[in-house]
Amino acid sequence: MPELVDGGGIPMPPHPHRGVYFLANDGFLDYATAFLNSFRRFNPDLPLCLIPFADDIGELRKLQSSHGFSILDDRKVLDACDAVGRAIRGTPRGHFRKLAMWEGEFDEFAYFDSDTVVLHSADFVFDLLADFGFLTAHGDDPMTRQFVWNDSIETIGRLTEEQISFAGATGFIASRKECLSLAEVAERLPDVLELQPHMCPGLNDQPMLNYLMVTSGHRFASLYGLANAGVPGLALEWWGGDPIDTVEDGQVAGRHQNPPLFIHWSGSLKQTAAPIVNRSLWEAYGPAAAPGPSSTTAELEGPGAMSTCSFEDGTTQGWSCRVGSARVTISDTYAHSSAHSLLCSSRTEPWEGPRFALPAPPTPGQTYSLRLWARLAAGEAPTDLKLSVERHTSGSIFYDTVVPDTLVTEERWVELGGAYTLTHEATRLVVYAESVHGTPSFHIDDFTLTIADPPADSSGHDSPYGLMSVADGELIRTVLLKAAALGNGGPLRVLEWGSGRSTLAFPQLLADAGVPCRWTSLEHHRGYFDGELLPQLAARPGASVRYVDDGTATVNEPGTDGGRIDVVCWNRGPLHPQFGPSHHADRVADLDDYVAYPAQVSSGPGEYDVVLVDGRKRRRCLLTARGLLGDRTVVLLHDAGRRYYHCALETYPAGRFIGDDLWIGAMDEDVLSELLRRL
């Protein structure tokens, strides 16, 4: 395989080998079959590996080819896992064999208990592993602590409250190979045995694994805890004991803020042949169900559903070419799975490529998870391909990168996958693949699309002030009005990082209330600003726009309401660092001027009455705002539930979390208390 290099010719590390483990034997065949059927429907290409719960796996081996999984059969590794079970429970227990996943074939991996049905792509989990060494599905919940620790654990001083309260449920674990090893488990086994009186009795691996995870030195979290902290759109574990109202075509009907990643029956909910509740899901995936994914396009009915294009029915399944001379045809020369792929040929421009219209109508805040596999046609020289979204709005078209430049060759299939969150109003969305340079012919195959609704507390278009909840929009409105009332009678001075609907709406509401203001807004993405805000600002008296990169500026005549909006705009393009490792360049983009601008032009602390932080680089913006605090300045942070902002909040003398997803800070606790009393 040719060496991967970045644009500067520096060798890049190989893509980590990712996959999923499950634990089963023939005594659990029916449940394992349901797991395999469901997993392969929503994860048709993700590598899968069986860890034998016991040595009787003859019947499971018969499913190996139809469901595409390998078997971890390293006797030395399995015996070492059995030795751990013997030390803790007095006899080898198959549950402890899940420790083998840290010795297996995958660099990054997820593990599912096999008494589950999987109802979602697991790809998003691997993006989270860029920030965490260990992830569980459920945890950070007082109700789960009883299944890990006895109350006496608090009395011995061996663990912090954070380590104790994590209490992750180990029916699902995601991790990286370097985070744990069987040698480390053996070395730490005396500590585990010493703590055993303080662990929940009767359980097998769960208390031990919790101890190993929280004391490993690696970051740990649960999907449940991340969702509660404000990470949007995560799929979660659903307990199989909660009856599900409607199941349609093997999926949970309706839209859900956090759709099911998997349904977990566990414990007394299981019977020998079938679970005692939610039988409709069992019937969709159990032993009598047809295995594997559909080979044709699945109609996407709404968020949480999945559309799959594998081109096995001989049609293009909705794919066409962007305007130009290129054409798409069904090919049997190469196939990522089965026998066919989609070939895009006769290209004369790099941007001519295969395209697929996403379901309408688009809703701001929705996240589209997009994935396909690409391979150059025979004889083509290696080149970079990328995946983008064409966004239509108000008669204009904008182009947003989902997967940046990725080297593709004729020798192997390469995955192009990422998530795209719609942050603006749009009338139509189209995903397309293109080359960065040149016009080679290329194949695509096994396209998947899933849509996740925005969280209920941040469904932005419900608020007239921006992508925030109605309650948070009203709180910011009230803070602005109260800050003006507490001021010295002059114009209210507001600084905003991140232009948007708020840049237009809040100054207007202040004008309507008879409050003069000087609103300064900083925006890093000129393309977004020019398309979404400039036409409206151009018609507003008292507005000015300055483009830093080319030094141009426009200033409108002052209005009669005493209000002014000054926008300073950089041309740094769309940045999506939250989309994971494939967007590393977005994370390290140079926004130094954008962050430091207020401090560079400021005459000193107290120049602003209110600072609103709602753009990129929020931690650094919060630190810059800290240096701008006057005696009565207040700072507002939107999306304050995201934990990685909290280290910057700790630098403020006074601060509170308010509303659905806001934080407010100030120099003085008394000033903050006075303002909050008025709220």
Question: Which of 304-308, 581-585, 667-671 has the lowest average pLDDT?
Answer: 581-585
pTM, two decimal places: 0.46
Here the tokens at position 547 are 């483009």
- Whether the CB-CB separation of 628 and 608 falls below 8 Å is answered with yes
Helix (H) or strand (E) holding 522: strand 517-523
Q: Provide the token pair at 473.
A: 């929009």
Whether omega before 361 lies within 30 degrees of 0, making that bond cis, reads yes
Contact 566, 521 (CB under 8 A): yes
What is the average per-residue pLDDT within 413-420? 90
* Distances, alpha carbon 441 to alpha carbons 323, 334, 371, in Å: 16, 13, 19
At a CB cut-off of 8 Å and minimum separation 6, what does 2 contact? 382, 407, 409, 411
Which residues, listed in sequence order, are joined to residue 371 by a DSSP beta bridge?
417, 448
User: Cα(155)–Cα(141) distance, rounded to whole angstroms?
Assistant: 20
Q: Which amino acid is at 666?
A: A
Which DSSP letter does residue 549 get? Answer: T
Q: How many whole angstroms from its chain centre is CA 58?
A: 38
What does the pLDDT look like over 607-630, one tens digit per residue? 999 999 999 899 999 999 999 999
Greater model confidence, 585 or 162: 162
Contacts 24+ apart (CB under 8 A), 8-12: none
Q: What is the CA radius of gyration of the chain?
A: 27
Tell which residue, 639, 654, 302, 229, has the closest CA to residue 472: 639
Query: What is the average per-residue pLDDT within 97-112?
Result: 94
- Of 355 and 375, more confident: 375
Length of the chain: 679
- Parallel, antiparallel, or unpaired for β 367-376 and 517-523? unpaired
How far apart (Å, rounded) are the C-alpha atoms in residues 454 and 388?
21
The enclosing H or E element of 367 equals: strand 367-376
Amino acid at 275: P
Could you tell me the pLDDT band of residue 459, with boundaries at 50, 70 and 90?
A: very low
**At 140, which amino acid appears?**
D
CB distance 493 to 515 below 8 Å: no
Counts for the chain of helices (H) and strands (E), in that order: 19, 32
Nearest to 124 by CA among 360, 308, 367, 359: 367
348 contacts 325 by C-beta, under 8 angstroms: yes
> What's the pLDDT tens digit per position in 505-549?
899 889 888 889 999 999 998 888 888 888 889 888 889 999 998
Which pLDDT band, with edges at 50, 70 and 90, does 360 fall under? low
d(CA 176, CA 130): 9
CB-side neighbour CA atoms (13 Å) of 81: 28
pLDDT at 291: 43
Task: Write down the mean pLDDT value for the chain.
Answer: 83
Q: What are phi and psi of 210, to 5 degrees?
A: -60, -45
Who has greater pLDDT, 2 or 151? Answer: 151
Q: What is the pLDDT of residue 613?
A: 95
Give the dihedral of Cα atoms 56, 62, 64, 70; nearest 10 deg.
30
564-578 pLDDT tens trace: 999 999 988 777 665
Q: Is the pLDDT of residue 289 over 80?
A: no
Q: What is the DSSP letter of 142?
A: G
Task: DSSP letter for 311, please.
Answer: -
DSSP annotation string for 143-164: GGGGGTB-GGGGGS-SS-HHHH
Q: Which pLDDT band holds residue 580 (cuts at 50, 70, 90)?
A: very low
pLDDT at residue 367 above 70? Answer: yes
Closest CA to 554 of 563, 543, 565, 564: 543
The band of 602, judged by pLDDT with boundaries at 50, 70 and 90, is confident
As a whole number of angstroms, the distance between CA 38 and CA 251 comes to: 10
β-bridge pairing 116-118 and 414-421:
unpaired
